[in-house]
Structure 1
Amino acid sequence: MCEGNSQAMVAKQFTIVQVVPEMDEGGVEGETLDFAVYLARHGHRSMVISGGGRLVRQLEESGVTHIHWRDIGSKSLRCLKYIRKLRCLLAREHVDVLHLRSRLPAWIGYVAWKGMNPLTRPALVTSFHGFYSVNSYSTIMTRGERVIAVSDTIRDHIISNYKVDPARIELIYGGYDTSAFDPARVSRDRVETVRRRWNLLESSVPVIMLPGRITGWKGQDVFVSALEQIKDLPYYALCVGDTEENPSFTKRLKEQIGAAHLEDRIRLVGHCDDMPAALLVADLVVSASSSQPEAFGKVAIEAMAMARPIIATRQGGSLETIRENETGWFVEPSDPDDLARCLRLALADRDRLTVVGREGQRWVQAHFTAQRMCEKTIGCYRRVLEEKEKRRTGQILSVVQMLPELDSGGVERGTLEIGRYLAEHGHRSLVISGGGRLVKQLEAEGSTHFDWDVGAKSPFTIRYVLPLRRLLQQEQVDVLHLRSRMPAWVGYLAWKSLPKKRRPVLVTTFHGFYSVNRYSAIMTKGEGIIAISRSIEQHIREAYRVKKDIRLIFRGVDKDIFDPHAVDPARVAHLRSGWGVNGAVPVVVLPGRLTRLKGQDVFVKALGLLKHAEYQALLIGDTEDNPGFTEELRELARQNGLEDRLSFVGYCDDMPAALLLADIVVSASSNEPEAFGRTTIEAMAMGKPVVATAHGGSMETVTPGLNGWLVRPGDPQDLARALDEALELPARRHSFGQAGRELVNHRFTMQQMCEETEAFYRELVGARRRKLVDSIARCPVETRG
């Protein structure tokens, strides 16, 4: 193993390695050259690894170190020998950033980088230079700690086709070299040399140029077809690009030109070493890319830099670099008729070509220079290195939370709150679930959501193990937080399959009194176990004989939301009107999923036993979630003569207003105790008295005679007794509500919950890192390459 000593990650001067298949011609090579030279001129150590090519001499003359690995872009087993060589090079040279710009070298670079110590390896940056075919081979370009998209179109392509956190993607447009592509710096002799070489003797005949590799997707065949339609006009047409690179397509083009009898007007002039002068030869430049759009389109900006108007296909990056009817024109892809029409119109007004060319020059000077591209790339490097240092020292954490769905309920709300807290404090929050109502809010608050059905109780759920394993490695996750049993099995298997040094910290949260069996025992596998109440902590210890430390972290209320003073009275009035609430009588509310576990049936029976006749009761919960039980409750209400007093109001997305509407809030969970009882503390936060069943977490939040009433579980008579007392004593309801609010503000806030969870994460991650550092210190360091 070739590991180097750690180096200050945010040094003023960097050592940068860029890797490309070759340094011959093309947009990728041009950007690599421009940036490598910029680095060298600004005092950085600039290194490029490639299989060689025309541009190597220019690199080396500019102070860049070129490393010639002939097979680095070769799709054969020969390229595998470079994995160890690159790993040793990165360690030996104390490289700060490894920048991968093409798929095959990216695989070599990624495997080499992945085998290094996460604490000391360089930052990894990848650039998406094209619309790569969407497959597992191309996913390598998403593996960077930062992924550079060369246009907004490419950024959209990445997000649409790959599961990448948008925060990792940086938009950095390509740029042209202002010292080379400047008409004022190109001598008349250089231009005349190019004209003579290409036998352009009649200066009065307009010249149309299509620069680019001679390949089908660049559209030279479409160009020739269009030129055939305007053969009645005077022109010379030049296809500039290496004719030896794709001999079969070159041969086909020559045959097409011959069939059109245009050999004396259309010329395949081959590679050109002086493109600034070549562009000055042209009156009009064409980018005819058809079968595949340009990712950015460097030809277009170089043409505009030389004050030449451009015709391009209406797709891809060209839509971002060309301003229609101002700096050029668009035509439909693969449409020779449309291209012919546009060429005819453009050539009809030579003066207009000059005006459009000058406007294009001003446009690219302001937006698309190589200087601008290089400065933004260095800025990207600085940010990723700063983030890397913060992650190395534990200042920034990457946390994945897993749960079955994000619809409604305490587990889901807690996940959202932790996600928001992490994002607000500069951490990376990723959540995996089967989706639901709360996904939109989750993403708006800064988390990345992965829509995986990890809660399905089916053997097929196991299919997510490998994708999760890849995700944990790719995103360099620090904490994997499992919040429910089925997702926990998926998460645990993925986690267990990783090498110990590559595993994130595993955290599990016991959100309920799960049935005691092997299936539920998965929740005890966390390196850190969170219990949301003392009752749950006791359950874990007694049922599973757990000896390890269990961290008690009570659930919390968001005081910015659950605050009586923060609720606009109009919101309460809206619910009152929509639910038909009579303001003249006390309102008794039971919020929660309509399920037997929540005890709505006990509540309805208790209402039928009340002595106090003046009240209105509301069941808040999705009536479609459990239709069989809902119908049973409706029948029970009819049997007890409660049709005019009890309303099934359905799901509510404004619980603070709903609780403020209530006079008494009930938690009637009977068959199974509340693990904590979030509804109870939310009601308290809104200054409302609560009636809760005397088991589970409610015993830790409700104190009889102080902030509410406790009743025997599953006992309608005892619940009716407490409700009668509450209805008869409004002054006590008020005092209990105030006491409950004080208790929540002191002990049960979301801020406390999030801070304690983050502290637990940091404690576990810190212990893991100390072990890793100790293990590295005990291992000999091999620096030979």
Structure 2
Amino acid sequence: MTPWGEEEIANHQLLSGRTILQLIPALDPGPDAFACIEAAAALDEAGARALVAGGEGPLVSELQARGGVFLPFDLTARNPLTATFNRSRLAALAESEGVELIHLRGDAGFAVALHAARKLRIPLVAEDFGPAALVADTTIFFSQEALGQAEAVWPHLAGRFVRGLKGVDLRDCSAQDIDPARVGKLRESWGVRPHERLVVALDLPDDRRKFFLVAAAQLARKNFFENEAQEVRFVWRDSDGADLTSGSFEAETRQLGLDRHVLRVAGGERAVACVASALVAAPAAETRLGVEAQALGAPTAVLQSAVDQSVEAVLATPQVDLSRRTGWIIPPDSPSGFARAAEEALRLGATARERMALRASEHARAFSSERMSALTLATYARHFRAT
């Protein structure tokens, strides 16, 4: 991974005056459009010309407000004649605009982008979507595990591989900016008493509900909830407007004898919920949630699924020393592991919790949108070092 710090200066020097074209299927809300707009804004600040071609969407105006230039282009055409025409059309567009590098976000339009880049003899940057992406001049991988696997399988292409980042907007993720009155209001809306400590399931999928309840039941069997010093509630947070009378949650809770210890709620500001929590449980598949929780200083447990074996958003033992831990990584079939994490988090003293919060907040900044943009610009700049 490119070191953070010096690369920003180098990017500005190497990219000033350049014209960079990003291709995206549509500027609809989502991580790809967010990354595209952030990169365009960073390019504009670096003195480069930031072009974005793709389908229109509600974020076009934001792109333009932040220095990007939008060019309508259909990357998703499936008609063979249209796709063939698009190859020539994109090449002509890129040539007329003086494009010096193309960055394709996703796999839609890869053949079109590759044709244009080869015809104009300019670099093509692609994101990992499978072996086809490896013919690009640079391929971006979004996890260290994926990068390592690619280097092992295609060592002769390793020089083309770089580490990228799906950045998170952390500008509103500061615990200091959340008024205690908002925390009190949230607790009141949930029916939680001021002194009760909360273990909050933050947007966990429904198939993790049983996992969450079993972990709570294991603590109950140890009489953990009966300790007056704890006064703990496990809170399953559903989305705003969710029907809390639907499903079998209450029946499962009663069956496990957790009526007094587990609460199901709908909505509430996510950031405020993190600040109110003694422990946040977030799904590994949603890296953003774990990063935001840590940025807010909340002890965070990331729950893996069978397909989410690589977790970088949280530093946990045994991968790091206890002194560097920012949270817990819970295997997919280990409610007992989550129960232990909850017990450890709830037993943290004030000093230990504060130190963990500081480590977690610092670690979260490594996944910020600013760092994402710096790494993206560093990837572009590597193609202009010898020119």
Given the two structures, how large is their TM-score scaled by the length of structure 2? 0.69
Measured after TM superposition, the shift of residue 748 of structure 1 is 4.2
**In the alignment, structure 1 residue 538 sits paired with structure 2 residue 148:** yes
Match of 2:355 in 1: 735
**In the alignment, structure 1 residue 660 sits paired with structure 2 residue 240:** no
Match of 1:480 in 2: 102
Measured after TM superposition, the shift of residue 692 of structure 1 is 1.9
Give the residue type in structure 2 aligned to 1:398: I
> In 2, are the aligned partners of 1:589 and 1:620 still within 8 Å (CA)?
no
User: In the superposition, relative to structure 1, how do residues 680 and 392 fare at CA in structure 2: closer, same or farther (>3 Å)?
Assistant: closer
Q: Secondary structure at the match of 1:698?
A: coil
Match of 2:311 in 1: 698
User: In the superposition, relative to structure 1, how do residues 432 and 553 fare at CA in structure 2: closer, same or farther (>3 Å)?
Assistant: same
> In 2, are the aligned partners of 1:495 and 1:503 still within 8 Å (CA)?
no
Give the residue type in structure 1 aligned to 2:376: T
Q: Secondary structure at the match of 1:764?
A: coil
Kindly report which structure 2 residues correspond to 1:521-536, keeping only aligned pairs within 5 A, or say none: 521-536=131-146
Match of 1:494 in 2: 112
Match of 2:38 in 1: 417
**In the alignment, structure 1 residue 710 sits paired with structure 2 residue 334:** no
**In the alignment, structure 1 residue 720 sits paired with structure 2 residue 324:** no
Give the residue type in structure 1 aligned to 2:299: P
Match of 2:294 in 1: 684
Q: Distance in 2 between matches of 1:460 and 1:657?
A: 48
Q: Distance in 1 between matches of 2:383 and 2:293?
A: 34
Q: Distance in 1 between matches of 2:265 and 2:212?
A: 13
User: In the superposition, relative to structure 1, how do residues 590 and 399 fare at CA in structure 2: closer, same or farther (>3 Å)?
Assistant: farther
Q: Secondary structure at the match of 2:247?
A: helix
Residues 555-594 of structure 1, C-alpha deviations (whole Å, 9 max, x = no match) = 5555543332344556656766666665443333444585
Q: Distance in 2 between matches of 1:634 and 1:545?
A: 53
Match of 2:29 in 1: 407
Measured after TM superposition, the shift of residue 764 of structure 1 is 1.4
Residues 399-427 of structure 1, C-alpha deviations (whole Å, 9 max, x = no match) = 3142566334x545433432332333333
User: In the superposition, relative to structure 1, how do residues 707 and 431 fare at CA in structure 2: closer, same or farther (>3 Å)?
Assistant: same
**In the alignment, structure 1 residue 640 sits paired with structure 2 residue 262:** no
Match of 1:565 in 2: 176
Shifted more, 555-564 versus 756-765: the winner is 555-564
Match of 1:758 in 2: 377
User: In the superposition, relative to structure 1, how do residues 708 and 495 fare at CA in structure 2: closer, same or farther (>3 Å)?
Assistant: same
Q: Secondary structure at the match of 2:98?
A: coil
Q: Distance in 2 between matches of 1:397 and 1:742?
A: 34
Give the residue type in structure 1 aligned to 2:380: Y
Match of 1:217 in 2: none
Q: Distance in 1 between matches of 2:127 and 2:131?
A: 12
Measured after TM superposition, the shift of residue 712 of structure 1 is 1.4
Measured after TM superposition, the shift of residue 645 of structure 1 is 1.0
Match of 1:398 in 2: 20
> In 2, are the aligned partners of 1:575 and 1:657 still within 8 Å (CA)?
yes
Kindly report which structure 2 residues correspond to 1:422-441, keeping only aligned pairs within 5 A, or say none: 422-431=43-52, 441=62
Measured after TM superposition, the shift of residue 648 of structure 1 is 4.1
CA RMSD of aligned residues (A): 4.3
Kindly report which structure 2 residues correspond to 1:457-606, keeping only aligned pairs within 5 A, or say none: 459-460=78-79, 463=82, 465-466=86-87, 468-485=90-107, 487=108, 490=109, 492-498=110-116, 500=118, 502-510=120-128, 520-542=130-152, 547-549=157-159, 550-558=161-169, 560-567=171-178, 583-591=194-202, 594=205, 602-603=211-212, 606=215
Unmatched 5+ stretches in structure 1 = 1-389, 515-519, 625-629, 771-785
> In 1, are the aligned partners of 2:15 and 2:381 still within 8 Å (CA)?
no
Give the residue type in structure 2 aligned to 1:756: L
Q: Distance in 1 between matches of 2:278 and 2:105?
A: 33
Q: Distance in 2 between matches of 1:461 and 1:605?
A: 53
Give the residue type in structure 2 aligned to 1:482: L
> In 2, are the aligned partners of 1:603 and 1:668 still within 8 Å (CA)?
no
> In 1, are the aligned partners of 2:283 and 2:302 still within 8 Å (CA)?
yes
Measured after TM superposition, the shift of residue 757 of structure 1 is 1.8
Q: Distance in 1 between matches of 2:33 and 2:206?
A: 17
Measured after TM superposition, the shift of residue 758 of structure 1 is 1.0
Q: Distance in 1 between matches of 2:370 and 2:96?
A: 30
Q: Distance in 2 between matches of 1:399 and 1:574?
A: 47
Give the residue type in structure 2 aligned to 1:640: E
Match of 1:312 in 2: none
User: In the superposition, relative to structure 1, how do residues 646 and 744 fare at CA in structure 2: closer, same or farther (>3 Å)?
Assistant: same
Q: Distance in 1 between matches of 2:300 and 2:125?
A: 32
Residues 49-82 of structure 1, C-alpha deviations (whole Å, 9 max, x = no match) = xxxxxxxxxxxxxxxxxxxxxxxxxxxxxxxxxx
Bigger Cα Rg: 1
Work out which structure has the larger RCO, using CA pairs closer than 8 Å and 6 or more positions apart in sequence: 2
The counterpart of 2:267, out of the listed 626, 649, 654, is 649
Residues 719-768 of structure 1, C-alpha deviations (whole Å, 9 max, x = no match) = 233223323435444432222123345x444333322321220121445x
Give the residue type in structure 2 aligned to 1:445: R
> In 1, are the aligned partners of 2:117 and 2:124 still within 8 Å (CA)?
no
Give the residue type in structure 2 aligned to 1:538: G
Identity of aligned residues (%): 22
Measured after TM superposition, the shift of residue 541 of structure 1 is 3.1
> In 1, are the aligned partners of 2:35 and 2:166 still within 8 Å (CA)?
yes
Residues 109-153 of structure 1, C-alpha deviations (whole Å, 9 max, x = no match) = xxxxxxxxxxxxxxxxxxxxxxxxxxxxxxxxxxxxxxxxxxxxx
Give the residue type in structure 2 aligned to 1:420: A
Measured after TM superposition, the shift of residue 537 of structure 1 is 0.9
Match of 1:384 in 2: none
